[in-house]
Amino acid sequence: MENSSLGGKINPSLLSLKHLSYLDLSRNDFQGIPIPTFFGQLESLRYLNISRASFGGEIPAHLGQIPQIFGNFCNLKTLNLANNQFEGGIQELLGGFSSCPNNELESLDLSSNKLKSQLPASVGMLHNLKYLNLYNNDMSGSIPKSKVFPRPTLPIPLIFNVSYEWVPPFKLHKINVGNCKVGPAFGAWLQSQTELVFVKLPTTGISDSIPEDWFLKLSSQVEYLDLSANQIHGKLPLQLKLPNALLLDLGHNNLMDQFHFGLVTMWLSLSLKLIHFLAPFH
């Protein structure tokens, strides 16, 4: 039903589909209606996408409370509510999922709504979560030590509340964190991530030199690397090669280049072709 220009009320006849596991109502126009309460009876759902569908109401809303609606969704793996008109907080939503004995939620996208709240501690109880997107809301708080996500897209006043020495028990392939305090140092949690292909950490308060071992390990596979608008200093490794890089952005830092021009603010936004013309990267 994706991109079908559906509208109006959603018929409860969906309940006759007892084994429905995948429901995509994205890119429709439901004109600000709340999520129907009967969705909570679709207990076999593993995937629900209602992004860009003009749903509205608060989270929780009076009748269509998302905690009530999703309370039976302990088997849900993917929930996408992005680009709607949801308001309020997400404490009860995340609390509902975290209270599931064996919650399986892996992907949660709440981006581009009108959510206003602290990031609840219960987010750290979603042990299978691999993707969290809260972009373009008005939230605050700290990301708990128990959970650092592969792609926490959080350009909001949040901080990573982890110690410098903490080493997470996972390896990420992608991290996208902007305008969220990660620095001042490249912590052990970040240096332990040596399998990253996509790294986006602009405006994260890093005022450290780039760890050479970490940077060299990333360079063989990284395709996108953005460390711009920090206060990173020092030099790049002379042996640095980026055979798969499509973009490298180290702009608006305090790096010393390899052309002996002294301490300068570098701007490098490189396509794959441009990388081949930069001698220090070969």
As a whole number of angstroms, the longest Cα–Cα distance in the chain is: 71
Which residue bears the tokens 């052309």? 259
pLDDT of residue 49: 95
Report the alpha-carbon distance of residue 247 to residue 226 in Å, rounded.
Answer: 8
pLDDT of residue 143: 60
Task: Work out the average pLDDT over 84-90.
Answer: 85
pLDDT of residue 104: 86
The alpha carbon dihedral of 76, 151, 144, 82 has a sign of negative
13 and 62 fall within a common domain: yes
The alpha carbon dihedral of 47, 123, 135, 63 has a sign of positive
232 and 253 fall within a common domain: yes
59 and 149 fall within a common domain: yes
pLDDT of 158 above 70: no
**Strand 47-49 versus strand 56-59 pairing type:** unpaired
Which residue bears the tokens 């008109």? 85
169 and 270 fall within a common domain: yes
| Most confident option among 63-72, 182-191, 236-245 | 182-191
Give residue 167's identity as a one-letter amino acid code.
Answer: V
11 and 120 fall within a common domain: yes
pLDDT of 74 above 70: yes
pLDDT of residue 157: 47
Decide which of 145 and 175 is more confident. Answer: 175
pLDDT of 160 above 80: no
pLDDT tens-digit series, residues 76-85: 899 999 999 8
Least confident of 28-32, 170-174, 178-182: 178-182
* DSSP designation for 188: H
pLDDT tens-digit series, residues 102-127: 888 888 898 888 888 777 777 777 77
pLDDT of 277 above 70: no
pLDDT of residue 23: 94
Decide which of 172 and 48 is more confident. Answer: 48
**Domain tally, the chain:** 2
237: confidence class by pLDDT, cuts 50, 70, 90: confident
Q: Which of 88, 122, 155 is the last residue of a domain?
A: 155
- Among 174, 42, 61, smallest CA distance to 107 is for 174
Decide which of 90 and 139 is more confident. Answer: 90
1 and 98 fall within a common domain: yes
Mean pLDDT of the chain: 77
pLDDT of 90 above 60: yes
Q: Which domain holds residue 233?
A: 162-282
145 and 185 fall within a common domain: no
∠ CA(189), CA(112), CA(185), 5° rounding?
Answer: 20
90 and 205 fall within a common domain: no
Decide which of 171 and 85 is more confident. Answer: 85
55 and 20 fall within a common domain: yes
Report CA-CA distances (Å) from 135 to 46, 65, 114, 189, 245: 23, 22, 10, 22, 25
169: confidence class by pLDDT, cuts 50, 70, 90: confident
φ/ψ of 47, rounded to 5, equals: -140, 125
Q: Which of 155, 183, 203 is the last residue of a domain?
A: 155
Report the 10 Å Cβ neighbour count for 272: 13
214 and 124 fall within a common domain: no
Give the distance from CA 79 to its chain's centroid. 13
Domain CATH code at residue 107 = 3.80.10.10
Decide which of 24 and 34 is more confident. Answer: 24
176 and 135 fall within a common domain: no
Task: Work out the average pLDDT over 199-218.
Answer: 91
Task: Work out the average pLDDT over 8-32.
Answer: 90
143 and 177 fall within a common domain: no
Q: Which of 109, 124, 155 is the last residue of a domain?
A: 155
